[in-house]
Structure 1
Amino acid sequence: MQLAQQVNRITIPRPDDWHIHLRDGALLRTVTPLAAAQFGRAIVMPNLTPPVTTAPAATAYRERILASLPPLVTGGATTPPPFSPLMTLYLTSTTSVEDIAAAAAAPHIVACKLYPAGATTNSASGVRSIDGLWPVFEAMAAADLVLCVHGECADPDVDVFERESAFVRDDLPRLVAAFPTLRVVLEHVSTRDGVAAVTNQAPGGRLAATVTAHHLLYSRAALFRGGRLRPHLFCAPVLKAESHRASLVEAVMGDTSGRFFLGSDSAPHVRASKLGEGGAAAGVYSGRDTLALYAEVFEAAGGEEWVAKFTRFASVNGAAFYGLPPPDGTVTLVRGDYPVPLVVEVVGGGGVTDDASVVVPLRAGEMVHWRVEAAEG
């Protein structure tokens, strides 16, 4: 049997990240240029403090994101970088139909985000029951805004490894049945139950899912490798058993419906927040090497067709589901062994020894095996 020849360089349509956290302030100025170097568009999560709950707040946040980008200089002329933040509203128990109408009228707001209260970082303002948001969901369906769902049950009595499965079993079916025309994204799907909900939906169903690189690469055993807790791999939803990880890989590799697509859930926290006495903040910062990490997954699992599958996942499926134009431009990745630094320094911070001034990236001190060589368009 002849082995497939190793691919050392690929060029694909410039991908979009359909779920990213850019934070605000100094962190925003640190991580946004790294995202813009890889992606043409990104759906930015609204869980700031205070949360982004109105269209004017989303517009103001978008302006801060764009202001954080360095200009491109070409032939002596300065032009804005080709990066477009797509904005979301944070749903609360007080979100109104009027808020949805204002969001639908704003050109750069494409979705609303549902956080169960207490499920993850800055989710205290989220909802305790989806039942109170029925008029909001109806208005979203009418306006054709996408509903992005952090699909976990936040009941503290539910085992942390079962929270996604509980949400998929109890709340998600009620939601999609009540609003069949509402496009719903099950964010950062992490279980075979979530995968099954997407793959087994009835014809004409409008449920999709984003999948992170860290859930594709790691199972929960990685959290405790070496006999100690690795806080920089702690996230919500938490990494699951190997059988769940394998189901995610199978789903993205075998997807023929276009319902699984790239959403990094890159969620930077300064090192002090990951190591503090109050416990590690939930979030994995994969944003420095997002595309490299995904490329590793597809290369390892995909055989001769892995580049085509990677292209659909990263550059085609998300835009089609959101009803947006295909991406402009291309990105080229090259294969090799590239070291990941121990930390990413926060702009204007106190240096590498200051835990409040650095972010620990995924694979810190290790290697990634692809890197972005160039992005064009």
Structure 2
Amino acid sequence: MTDSLLIHRPDDWHLHLRDGAMLRAVLPETARHFGRAIIMPNLVPPVVTSADAGAYRDRILAALPEGAEFDPLMTLYLTEGTDPADVAAAHASGLVKAVKLYPAGATTNSDSGVRDIDKVRPVLEVMAEIGLPLCTHGEVTDPEIDIFDREAVFIDRVMDPLRRAVPELRVVMEHITTSDAVEYVSSASAGLAATITTHHLVINRNHLLVGGIRPHYYCLPVAKRETHRLALRRAATSGDPRFFLGTDSAPHPDHAKETGCGCAGCFTATNTMSILAHVFEEDGALERLEGFTSLNGPNFYRLPVNPGTLHLEKQAEPMSYPAKIACDDGDVTVFDPGFPLHWRVI
């Protein structure tokens, strides 16, 4: 039985770092293990222009612990007023690696998002020409659509028509949660990929709701039925290069989670690699962990694989991770997978 694993240093292809005190508190948790991350732009106000992205990147680099090697890969928040020329210039400069589509109102700080996809068609067509990926939060926001069905409806109403209209556009369906999304990505011939989070490989909607509401398991897209979780596990551990890690690690202070209208997001940056090693070992796929965390993402984004390595070792005693990360804005609870973690990064 394998008890030691050496892989290329992983990347996180979907990460929330926030800003200010929260950025300073949570960035070290990611930089400890990950070489790069696609940084989400849904700040307040959002990262809309290349100037916004450059300023945010500077703040991230200033918050890095001394000696840390971490490259933040910046994104732009797509709005109905986004300038195609600014997007093209940001890409040409090397600053921006993707543009993020938030349907307006779909998740945290998404009020500036897109209401009419046709209004951003000129931006998408320029992105297709220059090879800049579109990252999508794949949910419709119509109030009549059940929250558990919003991803599947998004595929039918938005994603498939969009890809037919702009066939050269390269798209990442982020944090997929359903077998519908797995099947859709698996059936694509080219230009489509998906990220899968750590927590959606571990929890289903029972973990969130049975025995009492557990706010630190509440995220968007919300966790689905067990059949969907198992489909995500099969996709992640399959070795299919169209699927790769995007943690969607999303810090909120406990007082904003543990309230009458709690924020959506699971904070997994601290223990993701230990959880993933457990999941892949449990599914008999440890040899495919490197592809999911370190190889498939760079391949899709047309970037080199990280030159460094990460060494994981299985130990007899469970790992002891902190329950919370201290922050001046309020402590952040670390995601609890609900089982002991024996794999540690050494």
The alignment's TM-score, normalised by the length of structure 1, stands at 0.89
Deviation of 1:239 (Å): 0.2
In the alignment, structure 2 segments of 5+ residues that lack a partner are none
Equivalent residue, structure 2, for 1:195: 182
CA contact (8 A) 2:319 2:341 kept: yes
Equivalents in 2 of 1:134, 1:254: separation in Å? 34
Equivalents in 2 of 1:298, 1:274: separation in Å? 29
What is the CA RMSD across the aligned residues, in angstroms? 1.4
- Over residues 327-348 of structure 1, what are the superposed CA-to-partner deviations in whole Å (9 max), with x where a residue is unaligned? 11101112231123331111xx
User: Which runs of at least 4 in structure 1 moved beyond 3 Å after TM superposition?
Assistant: 364-367
CA contact (8 A) 2:239 2:291 kept: no
Equivalents in 2 of 1:10, 1:246: separation in Å? 24
The letter of the residue matching 1:209 is: A
The yes-or-no answer on 1:282 pairing with 2:264 is yes
- Over residues 231-266 of structure 1, what are the superposed CA-to-partner deviations in whole Å (9 max), with x where a residue is unaligned? 00000000000000011111122243x100010000
CA contact (8 A) 1:342 1:364 kept: no
Equivalents in 1 of 2:93, 2:254: separation in Å? 36
CA contact (8 A) 1:55 1:106 kept: no
The letter of the residue matching 1:104 is: H
Equivalent residue, structure 2, for 1:241: 225
User: 193, 198, 209: which one pairs with 2:194?
Assistant: 209
User: 50, 54, 57: which one pairs with 2:52?
Assistant: 57
The yes-or-no answer on 1:119 pairing with 2:98 is no
Larger radius of gyration: 1
The alignment's TM-score, normalised by the length of structure 2, stands at 0.96
Equivalent residue, structure 2, for 1:317: 296
Equivalent residue, structure 1, for 2:209: 224
The letter of the residue matching 1:370 is: W
Which region of structure 1 is more displaced relative to structure 2, 229-238 or 358-367? 358-367
Equivalents in 1 of 2:156, 2:200: separation in Å? 20
- Over residues 150-191 of structure 1, what are the superposed CA-to-partner deviations in whole Å (9 max), with x where a residue is unaligned? 000011211010010110121111111112211100000000
The yes-or-no answer on 1:89 pairing with 2:76 is yes
The yes-or-no answer on 1:360 pairing with 2:341 is no
User: 35, 41, 55: which one pairs with 1:40?
Assistant: 35
CA change 1:369–1:130 in 2 (3 A) is: farther
In the alignment, structure 1 segments of 5+ residues that lack a partner are 73-80, 350-355
User: 253, 265, 268: which one pairs with 2:251?
Assistant: 268
Equivalent residue, structure 2, for 1:294: 276
In the TM superposition, 1:66-85 aligns within 5 A as 66-72=61-67, 81-85=68-72
- Over residues 90-121 of structure 1, what are the superposed CA-to-partner deviations in whole Å (9 max), with x where a residue is unaligned? 00111121221222123131000000010000
CA contact (8 A) 1:341 1:364 kept: no
Equivalents in 2 of 1:207, 1:19: separation in Å? 16
Number of matched residues? 344
The letter of the residue matching 1:325 is: P
The yes-or-no answer on 1:259 pairing with 2:232 is no
Deviation of 1:296 (Å): 1.4
